Amino acid sequence: MFKGKKKRSGRFDSFNQNIQRFGRTLLLPIAVMAPVGMIAGITGALVQAYMIEKFPFLGNEVVNTIFTSLRSIALTVFDNIPLLFAMGVSYGMSKKDKGISVFASVLGYLVLISSMNIWLKVTGNLAPADALSQNGQVMVLGIQTMNISALGGIIAGLVASWATDKFYNLELPISLAFFSGKKSVSIITMGIMILIGITLPFVWSVFVSAFTNLSVILLSWAGPFFTAAGERLFIPFGLHHIWNALFRYTEAGGTYVMNGETFVGVVPALNELLFNLGPGSPEWSQLSSLTRFMAQQQMLCTIFAFPAIALAMYKTAYKENKPITKSLLLTCVLTAFLGNVTEPLEFTFVFVAPLLYIVYAIIIGIGAVALSLAQVGIGYIRGTIFDFAIFGLLYEGTNWVSFLLIGSVLAVVTYFIFKWAILRFNLRTPGREEEPSMDNVLVREKRYDEIAAIVVEALGGKSNIKNVDNCITRLRIDLEEVNVIDSDLLKKSGCSGIFIPAPKHIHIVFGPMVEFVRNAVDDHLEKIGKLS
């Protein structure tokens, strides 16, 4: 009986870690889309007729050609979002050979859309060219196929990564030896994707129905509360990317008709509205119904809530700790304000005051509803001050004044709630530790080699570390045993948070410089291996 429970627990832990890994694989394509979206947003705004009317030099043929050309280049990225997800997911999920996994994912995605194209032809469901969107179909890379959007790329990426890890070292008989090993991965991936491509249309209607039922909730007046508060609550577990992708790229986020064409999910519709149609189109009236699920929710955190939380923490810090606390909190606020990276500040209180973190999520959710009811229409994917300037101030009809008013009220409420809670419950937020706060001097001075040495030692040495990975802000490390972790030593590395989401997995928060820390850890482990 005990062994059975232990085995089931082990399977659950493995599943949980795979979900964690999958969530962070979504970051790679999203990280590309965000800056490209800013370029598309700027150029899209500057070629609008109302902007040219305000600033006549924008109508200059050379200037206009430059901006329209940049916009066209940026839109090419958005036209191939599924392919980006295929490559990103395969790269992130594969453990053995990421290069062959990415190669196989591209082939797999091409086979998938081609297989669905054949299914549409054979079954007589191929829609005429002027009625693609009405029939749930789309042109992708010159192939008319079913419009499954980013999900198709995700499926291809998952299959390719699985095939890579399973068959990258496959041995075949001598007569077939040429197709052994890594060559077999692409062949197996393509075979599986053919089967998926000819069977997916039969089950797709079930998925569409399920997502459509979920959209009834998300598209109601309370929808922004669930999406905004849900994202904050999923962040400590690293699952917020999956939550966001659900309504951004599937029927759960609704279907929208733009200029006679149907778009599935919030992001594809917003791409069309912001970067193609513009404020002069009748569809511009749908702007706030789309942006209410997007960056304006993030902006409530990065522009208003975070400065308020940091101020409350600074005001309640012990006097002798205030200089160091000020430096730490200012860094956290600027990281979010300029880069949309929120974990460093959120991780300063999520573990010491989980109930306060839930209150914080609720506040953001209520603020998101208020923005929606006020018909604020600001932003794209990221919620930085730059996004506010581009998508709020440069575009017409965004109602940015209401955004500032609602955000200011939210900031004041957040400040007083946090200050009261910290003092009332004596929370150990930055600057209120029993011992003086430690300055993260190692991170600030970019002494990554020293940080890596501390991390490896604190985690029990090379023998206890199974796999090292990272997302935008955290090291994500698989361990043989977590009981050997020296938390006190680990804190000396300059990290801003430690979280163990699974029995043999740890997250260590370093903020936006985490990739350099991860590289240093890899180098340090390799150095130890050579010496041993």
Active site residues: 471
Spell out the residues 6+ positions from residue 428 whose beta carbon is closer than 8 angstroms to its own: 352, 434
Q: Measured between alpha carbons, how far is 506 from 479 in angstroms, rounded to an integer? A: 8
| Angle, alpha carbons 217-218-224 (nearest 5°) | 130
Over its C-alpha atoms, the chain yields an Rg (Å, rounded) of 25
Query: For the packed helices 27-46 and 2-25, what is the interaxial angle rounded to 10 degrees?
Result: 20
In whole angstroms, give the CA distance from residue 402 to residue 370.
10
Q: Are 147 and 137 contacting, i.e. CB atoms less than 8 angstroms apart?
A: yes
Q: Which residues contact 285 (CB under 8 A, 6 or more apart)?
A: none
DSSP β-bridge partners for residue 241: none
Residue with tokens 């130890």: 528
Q: Hey, which residues does 261 pair with through a beta bridge?
A: 258
Distance in angstroms (rounded) separating the CA atoms of residues 379 and 313: 29
Bridge partner list, 498: 508
CA angle centred on 442, ends 439 and 448, rounded to 5°: 155
Angle at which helix 306-316 crosses helix 400-424, to 10 degrees, equals 30
Annotate 211-262 with DSSP letters as a single string.
HHHHHHHHTSTTHHHHHHHHHHHHGGGT-HHHHHHHHHHSGGG-EEEETTEE
Question: What residues contact 79, with CB distance under 8 A and at least 6 apart?
Answer: none
Closest listed residue to residue 325, CA positions, set 351, 353, 348, 350: 348
Q: Which residues contact 87 (CB under 8 A, 6 or more apart)?
A: 28, 29, 102, 105, 106, 153, 157
